[in-house]
Structure 1
Amino acid sequence: MTSISLSVNGKSVSGDVEGRTLLSAFLRENLQLTGTHIGCDTSQCGACVVHVDGQAIKACTMLAAEADGADVRTIEGMENADGSLGVIQQAFQDHHGLQCGFCTPGMVMSAAALLKDNPNPTEGEIREYLEGNLCRCTGYHNIVKAIMAASGQDVSKIAAE
């Protein structure tokens, strides 16, 4: 067992982990932050995207011990200070960017990373950025629309699908 300490959503946490424990498992099982979904465990689906030291990573590809000393942000840390939905989360709700919701946490976390680096992305840039996130329900149209809306762009002329 290895002792680790890190900041998760602005709070200091620590725990003992086996060397093989993935960050996704540590977040879900040790910290009960179940918004980080595990879809494939092979880095293919993007449901487990979190931010580690400001970078979007798939939590199923990182050992928990590698996050020792890091600043981690999960979907639970995306809400506003008053507990209401954050801008991206609200845009997903407003523009029907989710159906079953399984991919949504990873999509929101990826969208936040994209908008941090590119505050005004085009539809093509959003689609390219989301290539590592799989959604089996929505067909991506409303996800893209939600991300464009979260960036402040006018999406009123984009047809609903």
Structure 2
Amino acid sequence: MSLADFLRDVLGLTGTHLGCEEGQCGACTVVSDGATVRACLLLAVQADGMAIETIEGASDSGRLKDLQEAFYARSALQCGFCTSGILLTADAMLRDDRPVDRRAIREGLTGHICRCTGYHAIVDAIAETAEQRATCDG
């Protein structure tokens, strides 16, 4: 059983979506021991002993609040299918010590497929959040 199936079917954590089941679309992205991974490519048994964080945990902790607000304000989500994976990836990018500009954001989103937004609003929301976090940290 894949980690994605285990999270959804056994634990009821349905924010981890299954799209392509080949690791290409990014909808199943979770955080494993601090790094984003594709849950469809990881067997549940392989995750034994790892710290796994889903969109539910990251949202409940409040860590994604600024990103979620920026996505909402910029209409960076429509159907929402890809959003959980993109939010987790964006947060990982923003917590990294490397500078985040629009090009880095686009490169960081490689492997995430959004069929609704065209990515412009998503990049805008992440760039806005990066600026806000830099202002708060500086």
Question: TM-score scaled to structure 2, two decimals?
Answer: 0.89
Gaps of 5+ in 1: 1-20, 154-161
* SS of aligned partner of 2:31: strand
Q: Which structure: larger Rg?
A: 1
In the alignment, which of 2, 12, 22 is matched to residue 42 of structure 1? 22
Gaps of 5+ in 2: 133-138
Count residues in correspondence: 133
1:125 to 104, 110, 113: 104
2:57 to 77, 95, 99: 77
Does the 8 Å contact 2:67/2:129 carry over to 1? Answer: yes
- Aligned letter for 2:115? R
Aligned alpha-carbon RMSD (Å): 1.9
Q: State how far apart, in whole Å, the 1-side matches of 2:63 and 2:33 are.
A: 24
1:59 aligns with 2:39: yes
SS in 1 for 2:59: coil
More helix by share: 2
Q: Deviations over 1:70-119 (max 9, x none)?
A: 111111012254x7962211221121111111100011011011111146
Q: Structure 1 vs Structure 2: percent identity of aligned residues?
A: 49
Q: TM-score, normalised by structure 1?
A: 0.77
Matches within 5 A, 1:119-158: 120-153=99-132
